[in-house]
Amino acid sequence: MNALIWHLRRIGLRLGTTGLIGLACAALALLLYATGTRPHEARIAAQQTRLDALQRRAQAPERPQPQAAVAADPLDTLPPADEAARQIGALERLARAHGIELPRGQYSANAQAHTGLQRWTLVLPAEASYPALHAWLADALAHMPNLALDELKLKRERIESRTLQAEVRLSLYLGAAP
């Protein structure tokens, strides 16, 4: 035991104060790695394999889903013209759910000649952040298959402003008697 202590003192004298501080820092780094980083490596590896599997699944070609019985005429699936107010109300509720107020709008209905369709043109000014506007339009187009986005105008007063002034032009298609 005395020989070990003698060798340690000799090494300490050779290293000097700076060497001993460096050796202590290296020992501390090794201790932090063993207690802080090493236990998380298995969890990181598991998450990486999960991420790889999700990326492979996302890149795999999507298999076509079997379709339900398709109507003979797709126009028969459109809501009737008397549901225009309900459809526009649903669109406004979706906007409010995303924090967008639609203060006023222009609505006009046109019967499409020889088609049995009625087209409502909606011009809606809105003021919102881009993510909220994007989420609202994505939800509206996903939930209302008879809705089409015709035009979207965006304007920002100042570059640092988080809100946009938008003018959204939509078409709402409804069934009408020919």
Mean pLDDT of the chain: 84
pLDDT band at 58 (very low <50, low <70, confident <90, very high): confident
Mean pLDDT on 54-69: 71
CA gap 73, 71 in Å, rounded: 5
pLDDT greater than 60 at residue 69:
no
Lowest mean pLDDT among 110-114, 122-126, 161-165, 167-171: 110-114
If you ran DSSP here, which 8-state letter would residue 80 be given? B
pLDDT at 119 over 90: no
pLDDT band at 9 (very low <50, low <70, confident <90, very high): confident
**In this prediction, what percent of the chain has a pLDDT beyond 90?**
28
Q: How many CB atoms lie within 10 A of CB 151?
A: 10
Name the H helices within the chain: 2-32, 38-59, 84-97, 130-143
pLDDT at 72: 60
12: tokens are: 């300490």
Q: What residue type is 133 in one-letter code?
A: L
pLDDT of residue 64: 64
* Token pair recorded at residue 38: 């090493």
pLDDT value, residue 40: 84
- Tell the residue number behind the tokens 């993510």, with chain if given: 131
Provide the CATH number for the domain formed by 74-175 in this structure: 3.30.70.60
DSSP 36: I
Output the pLDDT for position 76: 66
Q: Where are the domains of the chain?
A: 1-36, 74-175
